[in-house]
Amino acid sequence: MNLDQLGYHEQNLIWTGLTVLFIIVTSTIVGLIASFILRMAGASEQEQRRAFWGFSFAGPWIVGFLIFVLGPAIASFYYSFTDYKVGQPLKWIDIENYRTLLLGEGAHGRRFKQALFNSFYYTIIGVPLQIMASLGMALMLNREGFGIRWFRTVYYLPVILAGSPAALLAWRYMLNPNGGFINEALKRFAEAFFVFDYLYRGFIYIFEGFNGFYIGITRGNPVGPLKYTLPAVIAVLVLLALLGEWTRGKRSLATRSAELLSIAVAYNMMSIGLVSTRVDLSWTYFFGLLLLALVIANGAQGKRLLVKVWQIGGLSMVALSAFMTLRRADYALDNPDAQKYLIALLLVAAPIVVSFFGVWDRRKLQMMGGLAVILVLIILIRVIPGQLDGDGLRPIGSYLTFGTTIKDAKDVDYLEDIHPYEYLSVHWVYGLVILSLMGIALLNNYPRQRHYLLGGSLAFFGLLALGSFLDGQAYFNAFDDIAKAAGRPNYHFALFHQVTDVFPDKDRVPLWMNNELWSKPSLVLITMWSSGAGMLIFLAALKGVPRSLYEAAEVDGANTLQKFFKITLPMISPAMFYNVVIGMIAALQTFESVYILRTTQNEDSLASAAYFLFVRTFRQLSIGQGAAASWILTVIIVTLTILQFRYSQWVNYEV
């Protein structure tokens, strides 16, 4: 029988019948497999029967998942290691796609890096604002009264409309810098109230300065000594929080902060070092030391699961490094560089392997501490002659004494050379922060020593933060002076300088979608408008807060703010957690709004990671690199989600 000889309707009927048949057959097979597995495991007849029927009915979903989700996912994972372009022969290229994207190499790598930064902007700036907007709306609507349901509907409506092209285009009209509703309203207010005028221009000044700086970083503009300021400020903030009476929560804060920073450093090293040429061996040892410290810290606290995670995760990374080393075209076992690197990896892996054996008693801790000291000695032997003389630790010493590293700056190229953006030396500061925090956590039972370490670290990182900030300022000024003297525009953080050199004139307006300084905030604004879904979740949570808690607080004399922060927020924290997780995932997957609102002027500043992979895959037909981008995005989303669950102690599930 030839189906093509039949009419369309008959063909459709037959295909529908065959599809139903396929679903029945495959679902039954799923049930039979489940039943068979249980029989092998020695389950009773009744359990087998239950499994058969249960899995048979779940079969359509399971089969659908295998065919439409798992199958394509495996295929895309495979493609991500190839140079698959539609119409061209497919070639296996190892991790070349990942390397290009993570290192930001070439036009595509650079654009992916920028797209990732844009997605982070939507996440870090957009999600908190969206949460605040939805919580604010929920608090306003959490009362009974005439027409309240109507208001709730009105506030929810944008959720349905937000993704529609018509609503997004309406936003584009409203956000038109010249004559758009929003700017016209702002202008009228500014004309009517001079105080508002100054506040408004001040807001533009700060906002454009912040966005100009952010864009500079995304473009890879070197930030000079300021890159040392960030880890130092993080350290100061965490250390300040650890001051005062020592509690279990503070110990946990020290450990978890160290863990988070370690993950960040490990990720950075993975992206910069592991997939690029090769990591300096000092970094390999330092990375091993960090891993070992995390294993010891968790082992000392009896956290078996976390010990396993760091042991297995660490060894996997070591194995991957060794594998990649040998996969490199110019590396083989007889290559001296490869041999050195493999020996370093062995030395890093050895203490972690040792940590698998025995129970975590005092003796084992001492032994592990001894192995850590050996790694420290190796690092010091490697570092002291090379790094003190070079650009590694020297700047840190300079900042501690408020010295500067740019005294003899002659031209812009020189400045860029001494403070390149991806320079790894800043990781020494991150490493010191991690070691300091882990040391404080390990000195749990030694209050005096802990006190000294805490005070010393605070002074050290405080000086480092201040010194590097002052030098950062000198660096920026030097850049300006040199550029002006040379009569060339200042391309270093050009947008930042354009908007911060002069305070906005009276007629300045936000340029919204027409300018890269404002395009991302515009998108965040539109996202905030559609915060109704989060509002509904908050509204339901607010309804569940027992009235008796407020009454008890009122009896104790609590004011409105105290009731909000001590009762409302903790009680709705599960809803908050849900909104944060969902909001973050949605923000990292931002696509439709970018697709509709992009123009020639704002495309690069608006493009999200999801938009990048769409363009790369479906516009430019580079399936391999598009697949790699999608897997990187997946790993980021999964990692951030796991971290959110891991650090969700602030969520209160008690009623």
Partner 1 sequence: MKRVLSLLVLAVMAFGLLPLGGNTAPEPAVAQDQDTLEIYITGLTEDTLNWFRDVAFPAFREAKGDDSLQLEILTGGWGDFDVTVAGWITTGEGPDIVYLGSEYAATYGDLLADLDPYLADWEELDQFLPAALDTVTWDGHLRGLPLLMSPRPIFYRTDLAADPEAVPPMTFEDALSFVEANSAVADGAMQQMGFMDIGSGLFDAQEFIAYIWSAGGELYYEDGTSAFDSEETAEALQYMYDRRRIMMPTETTAGLPPIEGYPIASGSVVSGIFPMWNMPATSDPIWENIAIAPYPAGANGEPVVQVFIDWLSVPEYVEDPSLAVDFLKFIGSQENAIALSTVAGFTPVRQDAWEELRSNNPVWDQLLQAAVDYGRAFSDIRASAELRPLIVEQVNLYLSDQQSLEDTQLFLKEEYDAILEENGYLD
Binding region for partner 1 (CB under 8 A): 1-4, 14, 18, 21-22, 24-25, 28-29, 32, 35, 49, 52, 83, 85-88, 106-108, 111, 173, 176-180, 183, 219, 488-489, 491, 494-495, 498-499, 504-505, 507-509, 511, 514-516, 599-601, 603-604, 615, 618-621
Q: Which of 102, 105, 95 is nearest to 269 (CA)?
A: 102
Is 93 or 585 the residue whose CB approaches partner 1 more closely? 93
Is 568 or 617 the residue whose CB approaches partner 1 more closely? 617
Q: Whole-number minimum distance, CB 526 to partner 1, in Å?
A: 17
| Residue 185 structure tokens | 């309203």
Q: Whole-number minimum distance, CB 601 to partner 1, in Å?
A: 5
Q: Whole-number minimum distance, CB 9 to partner 1, in Å?
A: 15
Is 464 or 495 the residue whose CB approaches partner 1 more closely? 495
Is 280 or 592 the residue whose CB approaches partner 1 more closely? 592
Q: Which of 188, 126, 212, 205 is nearest to 510 (CA)?
A: 205
Q: Whole-number minimum distance, CB 415 to partner 1, in Å?
A: 16
Q: Could you tell me how far CA 279 lies from the centroid of its own chain? A: 23
Is 465 or 483 the residue whose CB approaches partner 1 more closely? 483
Q: Whole-number minimum distance, CB 275 to partner 1, in Å?
A: 18
| In contact, 296 and 369? CB cutoff 8 Å | yes
Q: Which helix (H) or strand (E) holds 585?
A: helix 573-588
Classify residue 3 by its DSSP letter: G
Is 92 or 565 the residue whose CB approaches partner 1 more closely? 92
Q: Whole-number minimum distance, CB 622 to partner 1, in Å?
A: 8
Q: Assign 546 to helix, strand or coil.
A: coil
CA atoms of 614 and 622, how far apart (whole Å):
10
Is 108 or 382 the residue whose CB approaches partner 1 more closely? 108
Q: Whole-number minimum distance, CB 163 to partner 1, in Å?
A: 15
Q: Whole-number minimum distance, CB 98 to partner 1, in Å?
A: 16
Is 50 or 394 the residue whose CB approaches partner 1 more closely? 50
Interhelix angle 127-141/573-588, rounded to 10 degrees, is 140
Q: Assign 85 to helix, strand or coil.
A: strand
Q: Tally Cβ neighbours within 10 Å of residue 185.
A: 11
| Residue 124 structure tokens | 């870090």
| Residue 325 structure tokens | 């080393």
Altogether, the residues listed in the chain come to a count of: 655
| In contact, 206 and 448? CB cutoff 8 Å | no
Is 259 or 516 the residue whose CB approaches partner 1 more closely? 516
CA atoms of 433 and 257, how far apart (whole Å):
9
Q: Tally Cβ neighbours within 10 Å of residue 66.
A: 13
> What amino acid occupies position 644?
Q
Is 509 or 633 the residue whose CB approaches partner 1 more closely? 509
Q: Whole-number minimum distance, CB 28 to partner 1, in Å?
A: 5
Is 471 or 516 the residue whose CB approaches partner 1 more closely? 516
Q: Tally Cβ neighbours within 10 Å of residue 565.
A: 11
Q: Whole-number minimum distance, CB 192 to partner 1, in Å?
A: 17
What is the torsional sign of CA 504, 507, 513, 515?
negative
CA atoms of 345 and 351, how far apart (whole Å):
11
Interhelix angle 426-442/226-242, rounded to 10 degrees, is 10
Q: Whole-number minimum distance, CB 391 to partner 1, in Å?
A: 25
Say what the alpha-carbon torsion angle 177, 181, 187, 192 is, to the nearest 10 degrees: 180
Q: Whole-number minimum distance, CB 487 to partner 1, in Å?
A: 12
The span from the first CA to the last CA of the chain, in angstroms, equals: 66
Q: Assign 446 to helix, strand or coil.
A: coil
Measuring CA to CA, how many Å separate 254 from each of 244, 245, 260? 14, 14, 10
The structure tokens 């982070």 sit at 120
Q: Whole-number minimum distance, CB 166 to partner 1, in Å?
A: 15
Is 421 or 550 the residue whose CB approaches partner 1 more closely? 421
| Residue 618 structure tokens | 């479906």
Residues 6+ apart with CB under 8 A from 602: 513, 514, 515, 516, 519
Is 503 or 650 the residue whose CB approaches partner 1 more closely? 503
